[in-house]
Chain A
Amino acid sequence: MATESEEIDRYISREYEHGFVTDIEQDTFPPGLDESVVRAISAKKNEPEFMLEWRLEAFKIWQQMDVPEWAHVHYPDIDFNSISYFSSPKADSDKPQSLADVDPELLETYEKLGIPLHERAALAGVAVDAVFDSVSVATTFKDKLAEVGVIFCPLSEAVHDHPELVKKYLGSVVPLADNFYSALNAAVFSDGSFVYIPKGVRCPMELSTYFRINALNTGQFERTLIIADEGSHVSYLEGCTAPMRDENQLHAAVVELVAMDDAQIKYSTVQNWYPGDKDGKGGIYNFVTKRGDCRGERSKISWTQVETGSAITWKYPSVVLTGDNSVGEFYSVALTNNYQQADTGSKMVHIGKNSRSTIISKGISAGKAENAYRGLVKMLRGANGARNYTQCDSLLIGSQCGAHTFPYVEVQEPTAQVEHEATTSKIGDDQLFYCRQRGIAEEEAVSMIVNGFCKEVFTELPMEFAVEVQRLLGVSLEGSVG
Chain B
Amino acid sequence: MLIVKDLKVEVEGKSILKGLTMEVGAGEVHAIMGPNGSGKSTLSHVLSGREGYEVVGGSITLDGEDLLALSPEERAWKGLFLGFQYPVAIPGLNSSVFMREAVNAQRRSRGENEYDAMDFLAIAREKMKLLKMDESFMTRAVNDGFSGGEKKRNEIYQMALLEPRLAILDEIDSGLDIDALRVVSDGINKLRSADRSLIMVTHYQRLLDYVVPDYVHVLSGGEIVRSGGRELALELESSGYGWLEKEPAAV
Contacts and interface: CB of A to CB of B under 8 A. Distances in A.
Contact of A448 (B76, B77, B87, B93): B93
A438 B105 CA distance: 9
A454 B92 contact: yes
A358 interface: no
Contacts of B88: 428, 430-431, 433-434
Interface in A441-464: 441-442, 444, 448-449, 451-456
B91 A453 contact: yes
A451 B93 contact: yes
Nearest to A442: B73
B227 to A, nearest CB: 27
A441 B51 contact: no
Nearest to A429: B51
Nearest to B103: A439
A448 B99 CA distance: 11
Contacts of B90: 431, 434-435, 448-449, 452
Nearest to B68: A1
B100 to A, nearest CB: 11
A314 to B, nearest CB: 28
A267 B109 CA distance: 42
A438 B162 contact: yes
Contacts of B190: none
A4 B92 contact: no
Interface in B46-94: 48-52, 71-73, 75-77, 81-82, 84, 87-88, 90-94
Contacts of A444: 101, 105
A437 B93 contact: no
A98 interface: no
A436 interface: yes
A93 interface: no
A3 interface: yes
Contacts of A456: 92
Nearest to B99: A438
Interface string B157-172: 0100010000000000
B93 to A, nearest CB: 3
A440 interface: yes
Contacts of B176: none
Interface in A390-442: 428-431, 433-442
A437 B48 contact: yes
Interface residues of A, number: 26
Interface in B88-129: 88, 90-94, 97-99, 101-103, 105-106, 109
B117 to A, nearest CB: 16
B91 A440 contact: no
Contacts of B3: none
A212 to B, nearest CB: 32
B141 interface: yes
Given A448-B98, A456-B92, A440 B87 contact: no
Interface string A451-481: 1111110000000000000000000000000
A275 B76 CA distance: 36
A286 to B, nearest CB: 27
Nearest to B109: A439
Interface in A1-55: 1, 3-4
Interface string A111-126: 0000000000000000
Contact of A433 (B50, B109, B141): B50
Contacts of B105: 438-441, 444
A441 B101 CA distance: 10
Nearest to B92: A452
Contacts of B72: 433, 436-437
Contacts of B99: 438
A59 B150 CA distance: 64
B93 A439 contact: no
A4 B52 CA distance: 9
Contacts of B52: 429
Contacts of B84: 434, 437
Contacts of A430: 88
Contacts of B162: 438-439
A437 B98 contact: no
Specify which of B88, B109, B141 lies most central, judged by the most chain A CB atoms within 10 Å of its CB.
Answer: B88
Nearest to B51: A4
A110 B23 CA distance: 59
A255 B72 CA distance: 48
B7 to A, nearest CB: 16
A369 B84 CA distance: 33
Given A437-B76, A451-B93, A452-B141, 14 more contacts: A3-B51, A429-B51, A431-B88, A437-B49, A439-B102, A440-B102, A444-B101, A448-B98, A449-B93, A451-B92, A452-B93, A452-B94, A453-B91, A455-B93
30 contacts: A1-B51, A3-B51, A433-B88, A434-B87, A434-B88, A435-B90, A435-B98, A436-B49, A436-B71, A437-B48, A437-B49, A437-B75, A437-B76, A438-B98, A439-B73, A439-B76, A439-B77, A439-B103, A439-B106, A440-B98, A440-B102, A440-B105, A442-B73, A444-B105, A448-B90, A448-B93, A448-B98, A451-B92, A451-B93, A453-B92
Q: Which 10 A-B pairs have CB atoms at the shortest separation, nearest pair first?
A: A452-B92, A452-B93, A439-B76, A455-B92, A438-B102, A436-B72, A434-B88, A439-B106, A439-B105, A436-B73
